Structure 1
Amino acid sequence: MQHTPVLLALDIGGSAVKYGIWQNEALSHQSSFPTPLTRKQFYTAIQQLCEEFAALAIGGIAVSCPGEPDETTGIVHGMSYVPFLHVGEFQQEFAAQLGLPVTLQNDADSAALAEMTLGVGRHYQNALFTIIGSGVGLAVVKEGKILKDSAEKIDTFEKFVADKIKVMKNSKVSPVQLGRTVALKNFKWPRTLDGKDVFELAKQGNTVALQEIERMYEALAEIMIVLNEAYSPEIIGLGGGISTNPELLPKLNEQIRQQLSTQNKFSLFKPLYKKEAATQMPKIEICHFKKDANLIGAVLHFQEVYHLNKKQNQEQE
């Protein structure tokens, strides 16, 4: 990796902003805080972080976020659980507020970059990365290239179908939404439980938690099967906070095998893929960096941009 200054890496999610300091080719000082409701609150929180780490002389901010960041305009297109990102120009305004260079990259693309460079995707050319947080993020890698442009991503009917299915299952798969659902069904305030709490309740025998976790595995298995049919990737990397659960992959694979062994519920989609062969078992691997993949990918993206800008300046001299 290219040498860069000390960086503040941010992973902006729907419920929390995770952060870490990138120094000496490693993350440290990792923590998180609840995602602010407004830009002003967000800028204030990051300014406080920069002041807290002032002795480290932070030289830039590497951001992973939902939506579709366009670094030529500074606008984060699309919609997400973080509305303040999508109202007008963001990147340069953020950089001006902090007085530091800022890079932006989609969260799933960040995870894909980290995993394709240093993680489970190193030995593959065609891969998918499904990152589960407040929603479900999807990154597509074709011939070793992460397809970042919207036109590249949705220029096939397969992608359209896969995305629609993914969106329909978001509320069942997301640990954040899972926590809210279980909280409500247990007559609690929606924000009183998170994904970890739900799994802990399930271990204690809570019926609602057990039912919702079963639905989560069913929905996630459907997503994996349909994405595998649509793209035929060599590997599907699974990341996000939920990927730290050691039970995730064994139970997910078990659910996939169950669905594939029963009467094929995906026959409705078969004609769309125009495939004669039987549905294949997806090859799924947990992301090497798990919940840190987004932060590390954001740093790698900053390094790419930083190195490119440095190279262009040297050529102009």
Structure 2
Amino acid sequence: MFIRKKESEKDVTRLTLLALDVGGSAVKHGIWHEDELIEKDSFPTPLTRKLFYEAINDLIEANQDTYQFSGIALSCPGDTDETTGMVNGFSYVPFLHLGEFQQEFSDAVDLPVSMLNDANSAALAEMTMGIGVGHQEAVFLIIGSGVGLAVVKGGDITTEGSDKIDQLDKLVADGVKTFNNSKVSPVHIARRVSLKKLKLPSAIDGKDVFQLADEGDPVATKEVASMYSSLAEIVISINGAFKPELIGIGGGISNNKDLLPSLKKAVAELLKDQSGLLTIFKNLFYNQEDLPQPNIQLCQFKNDANLLGAVIHFQKTK
């Protein structure tokens, strides 16, 4: 797994980095060493910055005899702004958004820190050396505790404040993402299944839900069917709004072997009918012409995409 560079560039790929992907339920981490992502693991997302800094310092200390870290490459939810060090917006990780974060984190671990939105991190990895190579227009949906959206226009990943995204397109995309968030997130689905089975919210996780559905459990089967229907609606709507060459699906959900065939089936069924909400999109984007079949692909690097994108971003900016 290599990141290629020009001969004239500084040999940044030889840096040893601690790569972090902070999510609503877990912090995934790995070590970028000798052009490879190794030592991958995760721990539950802490509730406070103090606990987060302590956990990262423990990671660094546990590996200091083997690796000499040059910095931390961070992927996280929210609108990251490296000019201010802020992580703007809201997410399932509240401590990220409580004032300046980047420099404070850097000071706490005594290492330089880069930070990039999680969906943009995944998109950067896939556009650099994954399914996006050779494409100019793409959209990436990264599904975990929430739904992350990254839009690629003219080969460049846009930002939330970019004027490259037409405001109508952004309104549609954000609206679809917001209203379907809880329906497509495996974390939310697992909590609902747990509660409906009169268990603690954490008793069942996303993997369990898909397994239960495979076994014919009626509660899990209904939730999974609803998830595919909602995700198909998102994909069709985003395909209409942005007209991308491909739509990449990433995050923990992409590890499910049935995801792609089941999603394509759900999309085909919705496109046959093209009623309700899809009628609005047909009128908005295609002047009553039938909505086209989207090119859906799973992210090549799946759960590693966010970590790899964070590493690439560090190499480009530090």
2:269 corresponds, among 258, 270, 291, to 258
Partner of residue 17, structure 2 = 7
CA distance in structure 2 between the aligned counterparts of 1:233 and 1:21, rounded to whole angstroms: 33
Letter in 2 for 1:264: S
Which SS does the other structure have where 1:269 is aligned?
A: helix
Note the C-alpha offset of 1:58.
Answer: 1.1
Identity %: 55
Q: Work out whether residues 107 and 137 of structure 1, in 8 Å CA contact, stay in contact via their aligned partners in 2.
A: yes
CA distance in structure 2 between the aligned counterparts of 1:37 and 1:3, rounded to whole angstroms: 33
CA distance in structure 1 between the aligned counterparts of 2:308 and 2:44, rounded to whole angstroms: 20
Letter in 2 for 1:75: M
CA distance in structure 2 between the aligned counterparts of 1:136 and 1:153, rounded to whole angstroms: 21
Letter in 2 for 1:240: G
Partner of residue 300, structure 2 = 288
CA distance in structure 2 between the aligned counterparts of 1:162 and 1:73, rounded to whole angstroms: 26
Note the C-alpha offset of 1:155.
Answer: 4.2
2:138 corresponds, among 98, 111, 127, to 127
TM-score (norm 2): 0.94
Letter in 2 for 1:176: V
> Is structure 2 residue 263 aligned with structure 1 residue 271?
no
Note the C-alpha offset of 1:272.
Answer: 3.2
CA offsets, 1:76-126, max 9 Å, x none? Answer: 000000000000000000000000000000000000000000000001000
> Is structure 2 residue 173 aligned with structure 1 residue 177?
no
> Is structure 2 residue 165 aligned with structure 1 residue 148?
no
| Matched pairs, number | 306
Q: Work out whether residues 158 and 272 of structure 1, in 8 Å CA contact, stay in contact via their aligned partners in 2.
A: no
What pairs up with 1:185-204 in 2 under 5 angstroms?
185-204=196-215
Letter in 2 for 1:20: G
1:94 corresponds, among 91, 94, 105, to 105
CA offsets, 1:179-234, max 9 Å, x none? Answer: 10110111111112111011111122211001000000000000000000000000
1:103 corresponds, among 100, 111, 114, to 114
CA 1:214–1:269 in structure 2 vs 1: closer, same or farther (change >3 Å)? same
Provide runs of 4+ in structure 1 moved above 2 Å: 1-4, 151-155, 268-277
Q: Work out whether residues 153 and 159 of structure 1, in 8 Å CA contact, stay in contact via their aligned partners in 2.
A: no
> Is structure 2 residue 81 aligned with structure 1 residue 81?
no
CA distance in structure 2 between the aligned counterparts of 1:193 and 1:164, rounded to whole angstroms: 29
Note the C-alpha offset of 1:131.
Answer: 0.4
CA distance in structure 2 between the aligned counterparts of 1:134 and 1:176, rounded to whole angstroms: 5
Letter in 1 for 2:43: F
Partner of residue 54, structure 2 = 44
Note the C-alpha offset of 1:162.
Answer: 1.7
What root-mean-square deviation, in Å, do the aligned CA atoms of Structure 1 and Structure 2 show?
A: 1.2
Note the C-alpha offset of 1:171.
Answer: 0.3
Note the C-alpha offset of 1:275.
Answer: 3.4
CA distance in structure 2 between the aligned counterparts of 1:124 and 1:201, rounded to whole angstroms: 38
Partner of residue 311, structure 2 = 299
Farther off after superposition, 194-203 or 82-91:
194-203
Q: Work out whether residues 140 and 153 of structure 1, in 8 Å CA contact, stay in contact via their aligned partners in 2.
A: no
Note the C-alpha offset of 1:276.
Answer: 4.3
Structure 2 gaps, min length 5: 5-11
What pairs up with 1:109-120 in 2 under 5 angstroms?
109-120=120-131
Note the C-alpha offset of 1:270.
Answer: 3.2
1:218 corresponds, among 216, 229, 232, to 229
CA 1:138–1:153 in structure 2 vs 1: closer, same or farther (change >3 Å)? farther
Partner of residue 240, structure 1 = 251
2:41 corresponds, among 31, 34, 40, to 31
